[in-house]
Amino acid sequence: MKVTGIIAEYNPFHNGHEYQMKTVRQALNPDFLIVVLSGDHVQRGTPALLDKFSRTQMALCCGADLVLELPVSYSCSSAEYFAEGAVSLLHGLGVVTHLCFGCETPRQELFIKTASLLNQEPPSYRQALKASLKKGLPYPAARAGALTACLHPNQADSEEAALLRSPNNLLGVEYCRVLDKLHSPIKPWPILRVGSGYHEQSFSDPDSYPSASAIRSYLSAHSDLNGLYSQMPRTAARLLQKAVKERRNILEDDYSLLLQTQLLRESLLSLTEYLDLSEELSRRIIRNRNQFQSFSQFCRLLKTKEVTYTRIQRSLLHVLLNLKEIYPVSYARVLGFRKESAELLHRIKKEGSLPLLTKLANAREILSPSGQKLLAQDVFASNFYQAVSSQKSGLPFIHEYQKPIIIQE
């Protein structure tokens, strides 16, 4: 049985995502396609535009067979932890044969070699890295240079270094590093990214694929969705339209009041207990909290040369969601599946090392104490998202335990 895994956020799902699924189907012809999806909060440190069940529905309508949730402490984390959570989840299913990801340099062997080297850190690499850092080079550049120095000492630059210099490849390298560490039988399968860059804010080329970021920009500037219909598969566009009409779409600034009052509760000491909050950043937060206007404005205010905007956004989200610890991935939570995937679920149950969680009510019996803590973080984060959504839309609050998983006919 061939099973391909994809790690995604679908924030929201668009034509580029559909293209990726179709390409995977053509290239690998898998029996099943599993998506590991960020839950209600995504890697850039914000709430997702749409809740995870809406995004799961989009994925299932457009080609996925099974959607699993990436726990919030991994989904709102640096590339390294994001990769660790998602890949170890796929690995633990025991059935995945390929991991497909988008990149700029679709050369499998290059990814594998680079990942393995970064994991091993041979002495020549470590020495070169140390020397470059001493010279004051920033870490990414130092790392790329050290890789060349170690692999091709007589060259000025190497393909591996070039790989590391493209941000679109970096996540793929992290995925491969986790596969390497786990000695996983899963084969990495890089495919060329098409369409606009990750941060592209407009639909520049009508024949090209959009970026999720451009779609979110469009939504914040337009009251109608007409300009989006050409950018998204029909079902995804309809789901988005319904959510927007019901005012269920959430942006980081819907969290502004919550963040401001939460920060008033904190002290320098209590802030440093959250994930990713250094003492330096905590100090800046305390020093600047009287200038708070909104979530996004406050992130811009805290931004320095040393710390990325995204890192700050994630840190603040950790404060809101009370994230203080990362527990190991110890279950696979099902958000939805196609009805015809019964065999896949059956095989995972038989061959996987992680229990499949389909009903939260069973969690206590199935999960270890640390697994229960991991799940509790997700339940709180999703209830938090749901509370904001229900206050904004006026629709009833539905507790995470009451939400059925999506079963697509």
Cis peptide before 185 (omega within 30 of 0): no
Closest to a copy of itself by CB, 129 or 321: 321
Stretch 373-392 residues interacting with a copy of itself (CB under 8 A): 380, 383-384, 387-388, 390-391
Let me know if 170 is exposed, middle or buried by CB neighbors in 10 A (0-12, 13-18, 19+).
middle
Closest to a copy of itself by CB, 23 or 383: 383
Contacts of 111 (CB under 8 A, 6+ apart): 103, 163, 169, 172, 173, 176, 188, 190
Bridge partners, 190 (sequence order): 101
Q: How far apart are CA 34 and CA 393, in angstroms?
A: 32
Closest to a copy of itself by CB, 101 or 292: 292
Max CA distance (Å), the chain? 66
Q: Is 372 in the site for a copy of itself (CB under 8 A)?
A: no
Q: How far apart are CA 274 and CA 224, in angstroms?
A: 39
Q: Mutual orientation of helices 295-302 and 279-288 as an angle, nearest 10°? A: 120
Closest to a copy of itself by CB, 291 or 353: 291
Stretch 202-261 residues interacting with a copy of itself (CB under 8 A): 256-258, 260-261
Binding residue (CB under 8 A) for a copy of itself from 398, 404, 405, 407: 398
Can you say whether the dihedral through the CA atoms of 120, 124, 127, 129 is positive or negative? Answer: negative
Stretch 280-309 residues interacting with a copy of itself (CB under 8 A): 290-293
Binding residue (CB under 8 A) for a copy of itself from 123, 136, 206, 396: 396
Minimum distance of a copy of itself from residue 365's CB (angstroms): 21
Interaction mask 311-330, a copy of itself, x per CB under 8 A: -----------x--------
Closest to a copy of itself by CB, 278 or 291: 291
List Cα–Cα distances, 358 to 161, 185, 271, 362, in angstroms: 42, 26, 35, 8
Q: How far apart are CA 357 and CA 127, in angstroms?
A: 46
Binding residue (CB under 8 A) for a copy of itself from 1, 27, 221, 264: 264
Closest to a copy of itself by CB, 200 or 266: 266
Question: Site residues (CB under 8 A) for a copy of itself?
Answer: 256-258, 260-261, 264-265, 290-293, 322, 380, 383-384, 387-388, 390-391, 396-399, 402
